[in-house]
Amino acid sequence: MKHIYAFNEGSRDMKDLLGGKGAGLAEMTNLGLPVPPGFTITTEVCNYYLEQKDFPQGFYDELDEKLAELEHKMKKGFGDAKNPLLISVRSGAKVSMPGMMDTILNLGLNDETVQGLVEKTDNPRFCYDAYRRFVTMFGNVVLGIAHDHFEAALESAKKEKGVELDTDMDAADWKKLVGVFKQIVLEHSGKPFPEDPRQQMELAIVAVFKSWNGKRAITYRNLHGMSHHMGSAVNVQSMVFGNMGDDCGTGVAFTRNPSTGEKEFFGEFLCNAQGEDVVAGIRTPEKLSALHDTMPAMFDQLNEVQRQLENHYRDMQDIEFTIEKGRLFMLQTRNGKRTAKAAVRIAVEMMHEGLITKHEAIKRVDPNQLNALLHPSIDPKFKKEVLAKGLPASPGAAVGQIVFTADEAYRLAEDGVKVILVRKETSPEDIHGMHAAQGILTSTGGMTSHAAVVARGMGKPCIAGCRDAQVDDKAGTLMIKGQVYRAGDVLSLDGALGEVILGAAPTVEPSLSGEFDELMSWADEVRTMKVRTNADTPFDAEVGRRLGAEGIGLCRTEHMFFDEDRIMYVRQMILSKDAEARKEPLAKLLPVQREDFKGIFKAMNGYPVTVRLLDPPLHEFLPNTDGKIKAVAQEMGVDFEALKKTVDALHEFNPMLGHRGCRLGITMPEIYEMQVRAIFEAAKAVTVDGLKPIVEIEIPLVGHVNELKFMRELIDKIAVEMAPLNFAWSVGTMIELPRACVVADQIAKYADFFSFGTNDLTQMTFGLSRDDAGTFLPYYTEHHILEENPTETIDQEGVGQLMRMAVKLGRGAKPGLEIGICGEHGGEPRSVMFCHEIGLNYVSCSPYRVPLARLAAAQAALRD
């Protein structure tokens, strides 16, 4: 096996082996661009080293060989006291990654070779400056000695000399400082600074490898769902110097504006500087126009190179370059990171320029990025103070006074005050407060907790499971890292990043560009899966339609039950002794439910609306205080104590596994009957207005075919009673229990459609509750027990396997069975792609995720 590739042996297609940087250097070399020669040690060596704590067999021979080649090419000797070869050592994973060791420059310098360099360059100040930089970088990055120590020594040297700027230091000063720095190295590492260039190089290579498993790198990969098994390559490259005089310099540029996407050559340049000076922020770089003004020939050559690179890569490039004494050297090219806005504009414009095809344009935008386009965001220019981080449960920015109860949120919002609702966790009783709030912050719960799900549905920013926040709603305090915040204190939330920010952060409103619409229309042309929205209100339905939803995949009827004007009847319904006593409250609920459905059918005219009959455990609706119980008792004319006992008796140990879903519909059929009548009456009513409702009645939590059979018979009976029904209607079921997947063939016989409820299916399959998993799921992903959080993206090998089974069995029993998904995963791009792969007809997600799903569905279709 080959362990090391010279730049001219690699290519852009070898990113897995050479890393992003190495592949870019190789490609540029092959294009004939001016790249300082060098070689890349593969990611395989890295992985081998991390497992075996040693280099693979034959590695040293190859290294010798490549080094000799490089010396030959450069006509210099590594460690040669007369004509020393200096190199840089850089990490280079497949995807660039903060937290990895970055760069060691000027490697190869020691007390001997620096002399040779002085002789060659006749610039002792430059040489000793380079030397002291090298010792600092090596000491810091390779030997792990804090930067402060070197910094302090430099400061004290300057003080001693009575100067303020580095530029005031001369060769002798730097030389003396090199000695001081080496002393620091000896003190802190217990060993003298390695003078042998070969040893320097090996230590640097190992440092790159080890930095792959550094804490920050791991955190980064976890946050970005990246595999921990890729490893990093190491790039060894001959040095070029941008700091040898005013005909030198270094810069970073983008072939298009990465912020706006505008087609302009965009970047920064620093004259007479090494790259690290730009990074360190010691001097402020100038715009590229400065280069145009001072070295027009250089600018023209660079401009030509960037044009060539963009045309070659057919994507916006992020490039690094150095000018050494009037010669241009390219040090990096890679696809440039860009904002969502820029991503969309660049993709669409490149298509119009003929650079890429429509299909490529679709593939160029990461669906997850679209979030940022659809929600307001914290002004990136704002210097924010992040108090705590939680789960980015629902994107967008929110600013407001904190409040601790839904009622208070509602009251203040009525008065026009902007509030942020802070809770341990929300419950359905908080809905009105969540609606009223700008954003929601919870200290517990995961990405699919009640707060997260409802907030996403509302398109409201939400940070869930913020473990650093301690909420005491009785005391009315929020404690973050020892600091107490009270009602009225102003905080800001960045729901996309999960950041709780001190004070009122300025926000930027989203605006959807023409390019956005164009890209979406291309996506719609190619995708084969439909995209629907989850919507419980006419308002949500309209938002969904505006964002391209082709129907409602999940209309939850339970949220409708919480409105102030009906919760009393709902409670009466639940607490009634028998079917007879339930009649009265049900009769009162029927007309309000009918009005709910009319509004939704109007908003979704001509598109299917899947209405799920009542699902959650009844006790969610129960009065939870004595006062509320008293009110219901009075209304019902029953004894308070007796009613309290009834309420207690409805308590469940594991409500998720309790008396819910169709179990309600079966044991108290009159509740579902009322709902079905309300649905049919609403559909009839809007038909009168010339509308075309398409009604899909969905039975939740079916595990056994008889449950669906029972419900279907009930609905068919009602349909006969209410005939004629002059609109399309059908009956189907959620597939959200493992058992339903296993017996999907039986269930399909009574179902016109299936809809995967992957929230519950994931909970049951894994045996974990979304509300409680916060105690171990974060630990699991941090420690690689699970690479990904299954409540965020479908667990394809477990849950997904059951879904495959259900699709196969269901369609086997009923060819052409319509199957969709309405769990939260329906708006998560990788899950959407999986749904396409297993042949679903549609995905459904919260309104603000509809564009993501449309794009992801298109990308999935293009993968076929």
**Packed helices 669-688 and 705-721: angle between N→C axes, nearest 10 degrees:** 50
Residues 38, 73 contacting (CB under 8 angstroms): no
Q: Does 765 bind a copy of itself (CB under 8 A)?
A: yes
* Among 380, 482, 775, 815, contact with a copy of itself (rule: CB under 8 A): 775
Region from 89-97, 212-220, 381-389, 650-658 binding a copy of itself, contact rule CB under 8 A? 650-658
Would you state the structure tokens that stand for residue 288, as one six-digit string? 């590229």
Separation of alpha carbons 147 and 135, rounded Å: 11
Nearest to a copy of itself of 479, 526 (CB atom): 479
* Among 146, 484, 657, 728, contact with a copy of itself (rule: CB under 8 A): 657
* Among 73, 198, 312, 659, contact with a copy of itself (rule: CB under 8 A): 659
* Among 771, 792, 818, 824, contact with a copy of itself (rule: CB under 8 A): 771
Alpha helices in 226-339 (DSSP H): 275-280, 288-294, 296-313
Would you state the structure tokens that stand for residue 529, as one six-digit string? 């899966």
Q: Does 810 bind a copy of itself (CB under 8 A)?
A: no
How many residues sit in the footprint of a copy of itself (CB under 8 A)? 49
Alpha helices in 614-756 (DSSP H): 626-636, 640-649, 662-667, 669-688, 705-721, 738-742, 744-748
Which parts of 782-801 interact with a copy of itself (CB under 8 A)?
783-786, 795, 797-799, 801
Q: Does 654 bind a copy of itself (CB under 8 A)?
A: yes
Q: From residue 807, how far is each of 303, 605, 820, 839 by CA, in Å?
A: 54, 29, 10, 8
Q: Does 656 bind a copy of itself (CB under 8 A)?
A: yes
Nearest to a copy of itself of 81, 666 (CB atom): 666
469-472, strands of its sheet edge to edge: 469-472, 477-480, 483-486
Nearest to a copy of itself of 553, 738 (CB atom): 738
Region from 149-157, 247-255, 429-437, 646-654 binding a copy of itself, contact rule CB under 8 A? 646-654
Would you state the structure tokens that stand for residue 786, as one six-digit string? 């699970």
Region from 168-176, 517-525, 551-559, 765-773 binding a copy of itself, contact rule CB under 8 A? 765-773
- Identity of residue 413: A
Q: Quick check: helix, strand or coil at residue 778?
A: helix
Residues 612, 676 contacting (CB under 8 angstroms): no
Q: Does 663 bind a copy of itself (CB under 8 A)?
A: yes
| The pairing of beta strand 38-41 with beta strand 4-6 | antiparallel
DSSP percent split of the chain into helix, strand, coil, nearest 5 = 50, 20, 35
Give the length of the chain. 864
Nearest to a copy of itself of 146, 657 (CB atom): 657
Q: 808: buried, middle or exposed (CB in 10 Å: 19+, 13-18, 0-12)?
A: middle
Please report how close the Cβ of residue 141 comes to a copy of itself at its closest, in angstroms: 31
Please report how close the Cβ of residue 709 comes to a copy of itself at its closest, in angstroms: 9
Please report how close the Cβ of residue 801 comes to a copy of itself at its closest, in angstroms: 5
Q: Quick check: helix, strand or coil at residue 796?
A: coil
Please report how close the Cβ of residue 663 comes to a copy of itself at its closest, in angstroms: 4
* Among 176, 389, 704, 808, contact with a copy of itself (rule: CB under 8 A): 704
User: Active-site positions?
Assistant: 450, 822
Nearest to a copy of itself of 352, 651 (CB atom): 651
Q: Does 359 bind a copy of itself (CB under 8 A)?
A: no
Region from 397-405, 428-436, 658-666, 724-732 binding a copy of itself, contact rule CB under 8 A? 658-666
Which parts of 13-52 interact with a copy of itself (CB under 8 A)?
none
Which parts of 197-236 interact with a copy of itself (CB under 8 A)?
none
User: Which positions ≥6 away from 435 have C-beta within 8 Å?
Assistant: 410, 458
Burial 505-515 (b: 16+ CB within 10 A, else e): bebeebebeeb
Separation of alpha carbons 491 and 463, rounded Å: 12
* Among 653, 688, 723, 815, contact with a copy of itself (rule: CB under 8 A): 653
Separation of alpha carbons 54 and 374, rounded Å: 49
Nearest to a copy of itself of 46, 737 (CB atom): 737
Residues 560, 596 contacting (CB under 8 angstroms): yes
Q: Which residues are registered as beta bridge partners of 103?
A: 90
Q: From residue 269, how far is each of 242, 250, 254, 446 by CA, in Å?
A: 11, 6, 12, 45
Q: Does 666 bind a copy of itself (CB under 8 A)?
A: yes
Please report how close the Cβ of residue 812 comes to a copy of itself at its closest, in angstroms: 15
Please report how close the Cβ of residue 715 comes to a copy of itself at its closest, in angstroms: 16
Nearest in space to 234 (alpha carbons), one of 44, 422, 395: 44
Region from 24-32, 238-246, 410-418, 771-779 binding a copy of itself, contact rule CB under 8 A? 771-779
Region from 89-97, 198-206, 375-383, 775-783 binding a copy of itself, contact rule CB under 8 A? 775-783
Please report how close the Cβ of residue 673 comes to a copy of itself at its closest, in angstroms: 16
| DSSP per position, 3-67 | -EEEGGG--GGGHHHHHHHHHHHHHHHHTT-----EEEE-HHHHHHHHHHSSPPTTHHHHHHHHH
* Among 776, 812, 839, 863, contact with a copy of itself (rule: CB under 8 A): 776
Nearest to a copy of itself of 524, 772 (CB atom): 772
Nearest to a copy of itself of 736, 824 (CB atom): 736
Separation of alpha carbons 164 and 681, rounded Å: 83
Q: Does 581 bind a copy of itself (CB under 8 A)?
A: no
- Identity of residue 378: I
* Among 62, 760, 792, 818, contact with a copy of itself (rule: CB under 8 A): 760
Region from 9-17, 158-166, 313-321, 736-744 binding a copy of itself, contact rule CB under 8 A? 736-744
How many other CB atoms are there within 10 angstroms of residue 645's CB atom? 11
Q: Does 738 bind a copy of itself (CB under 8 A)?
A: yes
Residues 846, 456 contacting (CB under 8 angstroms): yes
Q: Does 568 bind a copy of itself (CB under 8 A)?
A: no
Q: Which residues are registered as beta bridge partners of 442?
A: 423
Q: Does 779 bind a copy of itself (CB under 8 A)?
A: yes
Q: From residue 57, how far is each of 18, 153, 229, 231, 235 by CA, in Å?
A: 19, 42, 21, 18, 20
Please report how close the Cβ of residue 582 comes to a copy of itself at its closest, in angstroms: 16
Q: Does 772 bind a copy of itself (CB under 8 A)?
A: yes
Q: Does 254 bind a copy of itself (CB under 8 A)?
A: no
* Among 365, 764, 845, 855, contact with a copy of itself (rule: CB under 8 A): 764
Nearest to a copy of itself of 366, 772 (CB atom): 772
What sign for the dihedral angle of Cα 113, 119, 120, 121? positive
Q: From residue 49, how far is each of 205, 212, 232, 672 by CA, in Å?
A: 10, 11, 11, 63
Region from 210-218, 308-316, 603-611, 730-738 binding a copy of itself, contact rule CB under 8 A? 730-738
- Return residues touching a copy of itself (CB under 8 A): 652-659, 663, 666-667, 701, 703-704, 706-707, 710, 736-739, 742-743, 746, 760, 763-769, 771-773, 775-776, 779-780, 783-786, 795, 797-799, 801-802
